Structure 1
């Protein structure tokens, strides 16, 4: 059981839905929907090593610096410990970043924390997959 006595399988289901919603929001250009899912202290790391805060990431989405065309995000597992859920999976995407179109193939980790009755994305960290694992 996790904090609040919610079985971890229910939390895992909720986190999967939230992961779907956050990716759908950025592909759909719905910055407000993404913001509603993000913790105010978000640390969003990109596969090139750049790190954004919630504010700087939203600014880059609004300005068109990041444009997501497609994202697939298979989840390998979700670890739930208390009010923290860690999502381990992959992220495959077609994006435009800084005016350059590229395809991404990453191993990824997302960290969600529960505040009250809401789960919020606190951190994201992708790592480029070696060619052999793509």
Structure 2
């Protein structure tokens, strides 16, 4: 995962979330990840991946729209809208949110330098 843009990383993240690909998500997420959901819940890399792996969080549909990239020192921030149909704790839910992600260059567990998502912040978006 070297020399990819934040937009490419977002698409890789979307595909991994939709496919439940824990290994791909693990490679994309920073060890220091702070993930704040649009519901106000908060996860670390470990707790987020555990939810995905256990099936307590499953994405049935997922799309990102109106993505914009903003410079952030050595990294990049991405803003946009997310629409998803998910299963959370066994219950179906439609999510529409605005989001901000922060992507920073980091050395991954595989020894490769690349962008890793350090932070995610979602906010409810009225339909």
TM above 0.5: yes
Gaps of 5+ in 1: 1-10
Structure (1/2) with the larger strand percentage: 2
Distance 2:89 2:39 in 1: 12
**Aligned residue for 2:78?**
87
Give the C-alpha shift of residue 75 in structure 1.
3.5
**Aligned residue for 2:87?**
96
Match runs of 1:48-87 below 5 Å: 48-87=39-78
Give the C-alpha shift of residue 85 in structure 1.
0.8
Task: Tell whether 2:116 aligns with 1:125.
Answer: no
The answer to which structure, 1 or 2, has the higher relative contact order (CA under 8 A, 6+ apart) is 2
Q: Deviations over 1:39-61 (max 9, x none)?
A: 00101111111100000111111
Please, what TM-score do these two structures have when normalized by structure 2?
0.88
**Aligned residue for 2:26?**
35
Please, what TM-score do these two structures have when normalized by structure 1?
0.84
In 2, are the aligned partners of 1:90 and 1:105 still within 8 Å (CA)?
Answer: yes
Root mean square deviation, CA, Å: 1.4
Task: Tell me the matched-pair count.
Answer: 120
Gaps of 5+ in 2: 108-112
Structure (1/2) with the larger helix percentage: 1
Match runs of 1:9-48 below 5 Å: 14-48=5-39
CA 1:81 to 1:47, structure 2 compared with 1: closer, same or farther past 3 Å?
A: closer
